Every structure is written in C-alpha cells, then in structure tokens.
Amino acid sequence: MQKPTYKELLDAGVHFGHMKKKWNPKMLSYIFMEQKGIHIIDLNRTLECMEDAGKALKAIARSGKKILFVATKKQSREIISEAAKSVNMPYVTERWLGGMMTNFATIRKSVKKMQSIEKMLSDEGTNITKKERLMLSRKKDKLEKVIGGISQLNRIPSAMFLVDIHHEHIAVAEAKKLGIKTFAMVDTNSDPTKVDFAIPANDDASKSIAIVTQYIVECVKAGLDERKSNKSQKEAAAKKK
C-alpha cells in the first residue's frame, strides 16, 4: 500500500484549512502557514499521521476486529459508504443516532426489526394487504437508510474512522466513553486531542476526503489479506500434521 505523494495531496486540496478566525489553537503544530486569512495545513505532517494511522488500522484489521466508518456530511457519504463496503466494514453515513454505540442493544433491536420486515416482505406466503405492504416497505427503507450500514455489526467495533470530528462530535464522545480507538480526518477548526489518531486534512472537499480514505482502506485491506494468508498457512500446517 503506497502513500499518496505530496503533490497528489496538494492537487486534491488536502492542505486547505479554515479561515484563521475559526481555528482551534490545538492544531498549531499541524499548520504550515496562513495565506489570505486561511490556514494552510502542513502536508508533511499529514503524510506522517496517515502512515501512523494506517499501520494501526492494518493491525486492527489483521486481528479480525471491526472498524466503523463514520461520515454524515453530504460530500463524504458516498465516498465513505463505498470505502467501507469494499472491505466489508460497517458504516454510518446518513445520521448518527444518539446512543448508537452507548445504547447498542437498542440499536440491535431496530436492526432485528428491519430484518424481520425484510423477511416478511420477501415471503410470498405472508398474508398482508397492499396498503400494509406499502407501509412496511416505507418503514424498512427508513430503517435501512439510517442503520443499514451497521446491520451486520453484532458487537461494539474496536475502532472508528471519522471524517470531520467537529461535525461528528456525538460519535467521538460515544467512542471515547466506550474506549473505542478513534482515527479521523481533522481540519484546522477541530481539536485533534479528542481522537487517538488525528490526520490533519481538509475535511470538506470531496477530493481531499477521497484521497485520504483511499489510503486508509488500502491499509485495512492489507491487514485483512494478511489475516487470510496467515489463516491459510495455519490450515496447511495443520493438515501436514
């Protein structure tokens, strides 16, 4: 898995922070300079942080644990949902329901309810009217939109990858309360100390979100591939015995 180059990050606009008046002083060590009232992120720090986060996420994936991808801003939803799906990881891209992690048992009940409706609708032998079918379909679609990305998540994930911790502050707070490792793209208006692995980057532009997320996904995939390879080697060794 190859890190993007400095130029590729530059071309994607990863260096563009927020206006100086919106900055969080705790981001000082990640800021290169100020230009026309806008803070410019130090891309050398971005590359360092991406590598650190990537190594840790690779190890988590290799251990077989789940990583929850979170991004509910419009410009990041599709990027994050596709990224998570590509490595079979759970995701939340529509709305973070308060208690989604801290009250996980209740969320699981909603997931089971959604799955029950799906089963009912797919069973041709179910004796329901057209009106009831329509109402159930609408209910299923509503649930699918909000919790469909975590329907296969049976327990609290070991880690979270987030885009914009300022926007996803509830998710960050829940993760901290439960001891879930947090990895995030952090812009100049946010507090990087609120997450375990902060990646200083423009978290508003889709190109910036895409290039950082792509690298993160490649690290997760590498971890999953190593896990699969190790498993195959162990099975082969067991057969020889």
Q: What is the pTM assigned to this prediction? A: 0.93
- Count of domains forming the chain: 2
DSSP sequence for the chain: --PPPHHHHHHTTTTEEEEGGG--GGGGGGEEEEETTEEEE-HHHHHHHHHHHHHHHHHHHHTT--EEEE--SHHHHHHHHHHHHHTT--EE-S---TTTTTTHHHHHHHHHHHHHHHHHHH-TT----HHHHHHHHHHHHHHHHHHGGGTT--S--SEEEEE-TTTTHHHHHHHHHHT-EEEEEE-TTS-GGGSSEEEE--SSSHHHHHHHHHHHHHHHHHHHHHHHHHHHHHHHHHHH-
Positions in the chain whose pLDDT score sits under 70 = 125, 241
Residue 241: the pLDDT is: 65
Question: What CATH number does residue 29 fall under?
Answer: 3.40.50.10490
Question: 197 and 232 share a domain?
Answer: yes
Of 138, 153, 168, the last residue of a domain is: 153
Condensed to tens digits (0 to 9), the pLDDT of residues 156-173 reads: 999 999 999 999 999 999
Question: 96 and 107 share a domain?
Answer: no
Residue 116: the pLDDT is: 92
